[in-house]
Amino acid sequence: MLLLLITKQYQVIVVFIMEVVHLVIQIKEILSSEKIILGIDPGTTIMGFGLIRIVNKKMELVQLDELMLKKYSDHYTKLKLIFERTIHLIETYHPDEIAIEAPFFGKNVQSMLKLGRAQGVAMAAGLSREVPITEYSPKKIKMAITGNGNASKEQVAKMLQSEFKLKELPQNLDATDGLAAAVCHFYNSRNKTSGKSYTGWTAFVKQNGKRVK
């Protein structure tokens, strides 16, 4: 009788352990299927940010944000503010990944240098918090959102407005450009060769030796 009682108790314990293990596995699956992506559109006049949450392979808008820099004449002050805002967004929303628009090559060398610095500072903020970063060219982002690599800001914004059912668009479209980078990253997340990716300072320096000399 005693042996039978012990056997039943043992079976109950085994069943309980199996249920706990199954629950833990389910929780891990739920957590692994969710992530937050921070998209950044670098700029020294206006810098745009867009945050999305991925739940069960579906996108949810978390935040649209802009950093207005027009009133600051000192370029280094702008860089400081870009770094601080990016850190603030990381510490507030804890993104799992960052997608950033790569600077385009234009004829104005000074503008290119300033834009490159703005992008570099935002990337430095992400790397300092060990958030994986992926760069996408403007054409790549536009192609992912609209199917046209030469689409205008307005066309990109309209597609995102439809996707996220936004009642209205921000006055400046830099925030939607940041959102577009995040959405592009989500669309390309299964394609590891879609953009330049960095998981930390070591990876960045290894892939960009000329940029850090």
Catalytic residues: 41, 101, 174
- Contact predicate 116/43, CB 8 Å: no
**Pick from 134, 145, 146: nearest CA to 37:** 134
C-alpha–C-alpha distance, residues 154 and 50, integer Å:
16
Q: Is the dihedral of CA 52, 39, 75, 203 positive or negative?
A: positive
The residue among 79, 78, 54, 77 whose CA lies nearest residue 188 is 54
Which amino acid makes up residue 122? A
Residue 64: CB atoms within 10 A of its CB come to 20
Structure tokens at 147: 């199917």
Asked whether the beta carbons of 145 and 183 are under 8 A apart, the reply is yes
Q: Which residues pair with 68 in a beta bridge?
A: 46
Cβ neighbours of residue 119 under 8 Å, at least 6 residues apart?
40, 42, 100, 101, 102, 103
